[in-house]
Chain A
């Protein structure tokens, strides 16, 4: 746990902040991909320590925020039909079209909050007369554990377990953002944990195609200011390369064992992103060989389709076009206890980060 002190060090962080102030001569918009990075930026008060013309734009990397509304309704439908639904904690407060998983639990649904999908397999084993579904959301980061739970269930011969999968991938989302006509982003901070699994190879083509700097970055304050410094330095020098600030965790080729597990259970397919829409080849779908572990194939829930709340601008927030406080509903009709959309309720959502940790006094 050395990083708690080393990567939160005041002096080291200050040094990089001073360097950023020294070298940043123009307006730069830098998007941090991951919601964990957004929260760390806001929680540590980094945004106000940056030069005014180095602006951080918050990216789509909040798994809870991009999970489609209809998938939440599907999980609720299962919960209301005597299925034990297991989920990561973040998902349960996110509003579906009528209610959240937490409200469905209060109405009598058997909802279990877990840290690992493997626990859900154990629950299936202990409850052979019940169906158990794990709500498998997330980016490349959570895909290995979710895939492993399927392999684990197969090995143990457990047939009452399946996953409601909504896995999305970072590179196609970056591409969709860059292709947007309103895009103003000059550089990216890549999502460190995603790259820890996948490696960094797939980002070289993006750098080449869009001539944009990408710095794979960690989550601690020192990681972030160093990542921002590296991005600003590239921009000021007119360079665009792929750099790895998070080398203590991220290797060139990622984690082979984890990738093998993902590839065994999942294949790349089209995915819908909440607030953004369908992006081709942007997620994982369960391979044919493992269809019996696919909750959408197992239960009659695939017809559930619901529209988004028209007042919520989550799509613009997730694409970095607007900031949370630029939304008319922010802090008024939309608060963490009464959210209109997912970014206000997820622990990694940009709206929640702004609501909890900033106000006009600090951001002005």
Chain B
């Protein structure tokens, strides 16, 4: 799309007024980009039909900076929600898309984000069926916020529930952790450092679907460790199932450059956000085959088993350290903060 033909360089309050400027923005950018029968009706909402039980998940995206190495807020908003729906054992089908734009956002940036949304939606096989665009005064937002809600049909073989988890189940991580958080951190104002770390934002729904095709109810739980990182999600699981979780530090998949960046900034990669990684808790007898299936898929080629569910230390995650000691892995409290020295 050529921004010069739009007749405006930045988004202003008028674009959120509901009047002709709003219509202009929607027609020239949103409807033109997504161009599907649901949106083309230009109705207040869309009607869809599901044959099976369906899963719904919603998420708001407020990342700063909005463009980062490996992606931008647009594809993040699609992948994040698509993955959340997939974590329910469902096949994502439809997505709602709502923008809250701060006045002054450059139209080229908006177009770039909308195009990324479209690309990511096509890649993960979901259709944008309804949406909203609001504009807020400068200072009342941070360039752009996006909310997406995903709808998906539950996979016929899926029986995903923390209640199914048993002692002895294996815990598998689908790939390198902490990539997304460190990519964002490396570009934050005041913290910029040279690195080639890129966000891992991607859709994992097809890999999840393959796993459900093959292993069905032997897969007891999927979770994606986004905010709060691997440590927080594992702690939550241990608390929910009232059993112990034992993991081994040197099995945690951590790319060298990410490990180094975490060291320099004094951050623990176990608490850093991920976007294209998920945890699968599976029956012990299929664990090796699950890892192998993941490794044969481009979204899971660094998959590894990091530990298991135990009778011992209920409610706690205990990590065997690199040197053979043990420590509790507690959930993240507040935000991880840069240290003094």
Which A residues contact B (CB, under 8 angstroms)?
1, 4, 8-10, 13-14, 36, 42-49, 63-64, 88-93, 102, 112-115, 119, 137-139, 141-142, 193, 221-222, 225, 335-337, 347-348, 355-359, 361-362
Q: In the assembled complex, how far is the CB of residue A159 from the closest CB belonging to chain B, in whole angstroms? A: 22
Inter-chain contact A336/B333, CB cutoff 8 Å: yes
Q: In the assembled complex, how far is the CB of residue B319 from the closest CB belonging to chain A, in whole angstroms? A: 8
Interchain Cβ contacts within 8 Å, total number: 112
Known: A112-B190, A359-B316. A64 touches B326 (CB 8 A): no
Inter-chain contact A88/B325, CB cutoff 8 Å: no
How far is A44 from B326 in the complex, measured between Cα atoms in Å?
7
Inter-chain contact B337/A92, CB cutoff 8 Å: yes
Q: In the assembled complex, how far is the CB of residue B228 from the closest CB belonging to chain A, in whole angstroms? A: 14
- Residues of A contacting B190 in the complex (Cβ-Cβ under 8 angstroms): 112-115, 119
8 Å CB contacts to A: which residues of B311-341? Answer: 313, 316, 318, 320-328, 330, 333-334, 337-341
Inter-chain contact B263/A1, CB cutoff 8 Å: yes
Q: Give 17 A-B pairs besides A36-B341, A102-B334, A336-B333 with Cβ atoms closer than 8 angstroms.
A: A1-B259, A10-B323, A44-B325, A45-B320, A45-B321, A45-B326, A47-B325, A64-B340, A89-B339, A93-B337, A114-B190, A119-B190, A137-B340, A138-B341, A347-B266, A357-B330, A362-B326
Known: A4-B259, A359-B328. A44 touches B322 (CB 8 A): yes
Answer whether residue B191 sits at the interface, using C-beta atoms and an 8 A cutoff.
yes
Inter-chain contact A8/B341, CB cutoff 8 Å: no
Known: A1-B256, A114-B190, A362-B318. A348 touches B339 (CB 8 A): yes
How far is A193 from B341 in the complex, measured between Cα atoms in Å?
8
Answer whether residue B260 sits at the interface, using C-beta atoms and an 8 A cutoff.
yes
Inter-chain contact B333/A362, CB cutoff 8 Å: no
**Which B-chain residue is minimally distant from A221 (CB atoms)?**
B323
B259, B313, B337, B340: most-surrounded residue (chain A CB, <10 A): B340
Inter-chain contact B322/A8, CB cutoff 8 Å: yes
- Residues of A contacting B263 in the complex (Cβ-Cβ under 8 angstroms): 1, 4
**Which B-chain residue is minimally distant from A225 (CB atoms)?**
B323
> Count of B residues near A, CB < 8 Å?
28
Inter-chain contact A355/B330, CB cutoff 8 Å: yes
How far is A88 from B334 in the complex, measured between Cα atoms in Å?
16
Q: Which residue in A8, A89, A362 is a CB contact (below 8 Å) of B338? A: A89
- Residues of A contacting B259 in the complex (Cβ-Cβ under 8 angstroms): 1, 4
Inter-chain contact B334/A93, CB cutoff 8 Å: yes
Inter-chain contact A45/B323, CB cutoff 8 Å: yes
Inter-chain contact A49/B322, CB cutoff 8 Å: no
**Which A-chain residue is minimally distant from B254 (CB atoms)?**
A4
Inter-chain contact A358/B328, CB cutoff 8 Å: yes
Q: In the assembled complex, how far is the CB of residue A187 from the closest CB belonging to chain B, in whole angstroms? A: 21
**Which A-chain residue is minimally distant from B322 (CB atoms)?**
A8
Inter-chain contact A337/B330, CB cutoff 8 Å: no
**Which B-chain residue is minimally distant from A61 (CB atoms)?**
B341
Classify the interface of chain A: helix, strand, loop or mixed: helix
**Which B-chain residue is minimally distant from A12 (CB atoms)?**
B323
Q: Which residue in B191, B256, B341 is a CB contact (below 8 Å) of A63? A: B341
How far is A88 from B333 in the complex, measured between Cα atoms in Å?
18
How far is A88 from B265 in the complex, measured between Cα atoms in Å?
11
8 Å CB contacts to A: which residues of B27-82? Answer: none
Q: In the assembled complex, how far is the CB of residue A4 from the closest CB belonging to chain B, in whole angstroms? A: 6
Q: Which residue in A91, A336, A362 is a CB contact (below 8 Å) of B328? A: A362
**Which A-chain residue is minimally distant from B231 (CB atoms)?**
A356
How far is A217 from B338 in the complex, measured between Cα atoms in Å?
23
- Residues of A contacting B260 in the complex (Cβ-Cβ under 8 angstroms): 1, 4
**Which B-chain residue is minimally distant from A89 (CB atoms)?**
B337
Inter-chain contact B323/A14, CB cutoff 8 Å: yes
- Residues of A contacting B333 in the complex (Cβ-Cβ under 8 angstroms): 335-337
- Residues of B contacting A113 in the complex (Cβ-Cβ under 8 angstroms): 190, 337-338
Q: In the assembled complex, how far is the CB of residue B45 from the closest CB belonging to chain A, in whole angstroms? A: 36
Inter-chain contact A13/B313, CB cutoff 8 Å: no
30 contacts between A and B (CB under 8 A): A1-B259, A4-B259, A4-B263, A10-B322, A43-B321, A43-B327, A44-B322, A44-B323, A45-B321, A45-B324, A45-B326, A45-B327, A46-B323, A48-B325, A48-B326, A49-B323, A49-B324, A64-B340, A88-B339, A88-B340, A89-B340, A102-B334, A113-B337, A142-B341, A336-B333, A347-B339, A348-B340, A356-B328, A361-B313, A362-B327
Known: A4-B259, A45-B327, A362-B328. A221 touches B322 (CB 8 A): yes
Inter-chain contact B327/A358, CB cutoff 8 Å: yes
How far is A115 from B338 in the complex, measured between Cα atoms in Å?
7
**Which B-chain residue is minimally distant from A353 (CB atoms)?**
B327
